[in-house]
Structures are given as C-alpha cells and as structure tokens.
Amino acid sequence: MDLDWLKDFLALAELKSFSRAADMRNVTQPAFSRRIRALEDWVGTPLFVRGAQGACLTPAGNHFQPLAADMIRGLDRARRDTRAVGEKDTIALSIAATHALSFTFFPGWIRRHMRFEALGTLNLISDSMEACEQIMLGGEVHFLLCHYHAEAPTRFEPNRFQSVQVGDDVLVPVCAPDADGRPAWPLPGAPEQPTRLLAYSQASGLGRILTAHQAVRTEAVHSKTGFTSHLAATLMTMAREGHGVAWLPRTLAEEDLSRGRLVRAGPEQFDIPIEIRLFRSPDCRNHAADELWSHLSDIRAGGPPP
C-alpha cells in the first residue's frame, strides 16, 4: 500500500471530482484513477460510487475516511519524530507561505522576529494557498503565512489551529494607465463595455477572498474574466501590460503604483482590507517554533500586529 493512495483518497473524498482531485495531487487523471482503483483493490471493497456528477463515498468509504486521515497523521508524526532524533543538534523552522507574501512580506518580517544565528536552518516553502493548506494539514511545516479575510473560509478549524495577525494589507484594483494617465480599464465598467478581469484561480487564497467579498458587495461591477492564474505576480504582469484589471495586494503592487506603471482602476470603495495571518500547526512542533510563537504572542498581547 502506497501512502500517496491515502492522500489521493482524501483529496477525492473532499473534492468529489476525479479531474479536480488529480489537479490538486499534481498527477494526470488516468494515473490518479489507477491509484484510487489500486487502493480499493488493497482494501477489498469499493470506496467510491462513480457517476456523471462525480464521485461519492460508499458506506465503506465513509468509514475509511477518518481512518485514512489518522493513518497519514500517524505516519507523518512518526517520520517527523524519528527525523528530529536524527537531527537533534540542528534547530530547524519550516514555514509555508503563499507566493505573494514570500516575495514581499516574509523576508523583512522574519528578520525582525528571529535571530538567525540562534535559529539554525530555516526552510521556506512558497506555493499557492491550496497547496500550502495541504502541506499544513499534513503536518509538514510549523507555520503557514497567508492573507486572511473573515468572510473567506480556510480549512483550519479554530479549535485545532491557533493563529495570530502579523500584519495588514489591502486588495486594490489596478490596471495599466492610458496615454493620459487614466485607468485603461476603469471600474465599475458598463454593461455594454465590461471591464476585462484578470482573475485568480480556485487554488488561490486571494481568489477565495475576492469571491467571498464580491458575494456581499453592494456596488455593481460589470466585468468579464479574460485571464486566470493562481499567482498574483502573474496577474500584476498582465495588468502592467494592459490586459485588464486585477485586485492585487498593496504590498505587492506598491512599487508599480508609485512609479506609474500601474494606476488604480477605481476609487477606494473597491478596496478590500485583509489581514496577514500566521497559522500554527498542532502536529509539527519544536523549540524554535515555540520560541517564535511565544515571541509573537507577547507582542500581540501588548500592542498592534508585529
């Protein structure tokens, strides 16, 4: 039995779609289907009912789901604990961070809060929010650094995953300027001439935030999606080259805005205030992680976000 089969099983149980689950697991759909079938052969009974609408768990699959999650956590914990014994002379800290924060916020933030000579090895994993969640849920890192909005759901239950706000940001709609310095793709657009939207994919945490906020937005925005990516940096490049409007973190777009390569596509009523938040793993702990968490908690108790 392959550990990847269990991870495949949990992905399919959550997404209920072979194609989406295969994308999440970074394998082709035929290979993913073969691995699910191999797991069912190993267990000895079907775990999913296949249909036109996707895949649903059988009663046996429902029974197996929490057991599979427990097995993965147990094996990950055994691996981490064993590795920690072998690396007891090295203090290591592992942090997953979304792409945008890895480039802009993380370097200065970690320098302010950790002494590298005492820290030892620091491992930063930069990926999409969806991938970072998978890494965090697998207990592979001590912390996850990401953008956060109360209206957008995460996969972290508050009773298991502690978190602390470590900064502020804002999603700002931006686009390239026209010849007169005005926005080439102004908001709110018009029904007869919708603004071209440079959108985030489902794997993006910023995309979740934007979708959740727009669901309760009262202002009418007339837009049509013209391009999709999970990378804010890619959307920024596309916006800079005049392909449409993108909601970008101000921490990422600041320099382009100050140099006039990008301009606001609309007034501040279209801005979305967001937090920069650090989530702590309940399964991956060591002295360096405890030290950082205690330091941030002390700062948080005494004043504004660190």
Distances in Å between the alpha carbon of 25 and those of 87, 157, 225, 266?
29, 22, 26, 38
- Mean pLDDT value of segment 284-306: 76
CA distance 170 to 153: 18
pLDDT at residue 30 in the model: 92
Same domain for 132 and 280, yes or no, is yes
pTM: 0.68
- Res 78 pLDDT > 50: yes
Domain count, the chain: 3
Same domain for 79 and 111, yes or no, is no
pLDDT at residue 115 in the model: 63
* Nearest alpha-carbon partner for 134 in 25, 41, 27, 42: 25
For 161-197, the pLDDT digits (tens) are 999 999 999 999 999 999 999 999 999 888 888 889 9
- Residue indicated by tokens 């699910």: 36
Domain holding 104, by residue range, is: 90-166+276-302
Q: Is the peptide bond preceding residue 59 cis, with omega within 30 degrees of 0?
A: no
* Mean confidence (pLDDT) of the chain: 87
**Domain holding 178: CATH number?**
3.40.190.10
* Nearest alpha-carbon partner for 251 in 200, 204, 206: 206
Same domain for 289 and 269, yes or no, is no
CA distance 198 to 175: 10
Using DSSP bridges, classify how beta strands 163-175 and 263-264 pair: parallel, antiparallel or unpaired. antiparallel
H-run or E-run covering 250: helix 250-258
- Res 252 pLDDT > 80: yes
Give the helix, strand, coil percentages of the chain, each rounded to 5: 45, 25, 30
Enumerate residues 6+ apart whose C-beta is below 8 A from 98: 126, 127, 128, 129, 132, 145, 146, 147, 205, 206
- Mean pLDDT value of segment 78-104: 76
Same domain for 10 and 148, yes or no, is no
H-run or E-run covering 173: strand 163-175
In 16-139, alpha helices (H): 18-24, 29-43, 59-86, 99-103, 106-113, 116-119, 129-137
H-run or E-run covering 214: helix 205-215
Same domain for 134 and 62, yes or no, is no
For 203-232, the pLDDT digits (tens) are 899 999 998 887 545 456 788 899 999 899
147 bridge partner residues: 276
